Structure 1
Amino acid sequence: MAIPKRNRLLYFFLILLTIASGLFSRTDYIPDVVYPYLGDALYAVLIYFLIGFLFPSLRPLKTLLIGIGCCFFIEIFQLYEAEWIVRIRQTRIGGLILGHGFLWSDLLAYLIGAFVAFLLEQKLLKRFFYK
């Protein structure tokens, strides 16, 4: 059975939308109850869409598992605190990409975000926008 390909243009716009949403999630407009988790969930959504963009024929379940693996690796890597990596994390872009400190709750937020992206792709994007 042929695997439908993702529409790269659509995924490019989804990536941009997710980045904008992630930056917005770090503003004062977000309620305190979701503030600590929303950015991490959106980070996982971004990784999922980025993998889908880079590998348009990759099966959704593999995309999900690779995305979760990437997010978990980056989170666990935050336990490493060599001086050079701490300096990178202190920059705005380094902090946004690599994070600042390991939290178990971030792992749960990544799982939720990646699963939401997976479901969105399965229920909406796959039906209307795949080639």
Structure 2
Amino acid sequence: MFIKRERGYYLILVIVVIILGLLSRELSSWFPKWVGSILWGLMVFFIMGFIFRDRTTRHTALIAAIFSIGVEVAKLYHTPWIDEFRYTKIGGLLLGYVFSWNNISLYISGISLGAMCESLCSRIRISK
């Protein structure tokens, strides 16, 4: 389905998901660890929606999935400079530390959640 995304809304969504993701880490005794990975995938979907505002939901989800898998696979690459960055707060949040197949499935779940929400919202908007 073709939609034209409003960048302002997507920027707000990205910020909200980042805050939720940081809260899920701070309140880790209340939330399972996998919640953060789903939120990371959701954030990537919204960022790609912000960047590729004229693409279909399916295309945006595919770009988000390729990007997310690429970031996860990049965890297999180790050099002193990238490992040094990974062990900073921001580096750990952006790149993570250790490759995990499970993370890929959680990222895809977050991306799928974003795509489903976007499709539902665009259908509601069209029907009005």
* Distance verdict in 2 for CA 1:19–1:125, change over 3 Å: farther
Aligned residues: 126
Map of 1:115 onto structure 2: 112
Identity of aligned residues (%): 29
Structure 1 partner of 2:52: 55
**Deviation by residue 1:57-81 (Cα, 9 ceiling, x = unmatched):** 0111010011011111101110111
Confirm whether residue 18 of structure 1 aligns to residue 17 of structure 2.
yes
Cα distance between partner residues in 1 of 2:29 and 2:40: 16
Normalising by structure 2, what TM-score?
0.90
Q: Which residue of 1 aligns with 2:69?
A: 72
State the shift of 1:7 in Å. 1.0
Pairwise CA RMSD of aligned residues?
1.8
> Which runs of 5 or more structure 2 residues have no equivalent in the other structure?
none
Q: Could you tell me how far apart the structure 2 residues matched to 1:128 and 1:7 are?
A: 13
Q: 2:84 aligns with which of 87, 90, 95?
A: 87
2:112 aligned partner, one-letter code: F
Aligned residue identity for 2:43: L
Distance 1:87 1:3, change over 3 A: same
Higher RCO, 1 vs 2 (CA within 8 Å, ≥6 residues apart): 1
Aligned to 1:97, what secondary structure does the other structure show? helix
The two structures have a TM-score, normalised by structure 1, of 0.88
* Alpha-carbon contact 2:3-2:55 (below 8 Å) kept: no
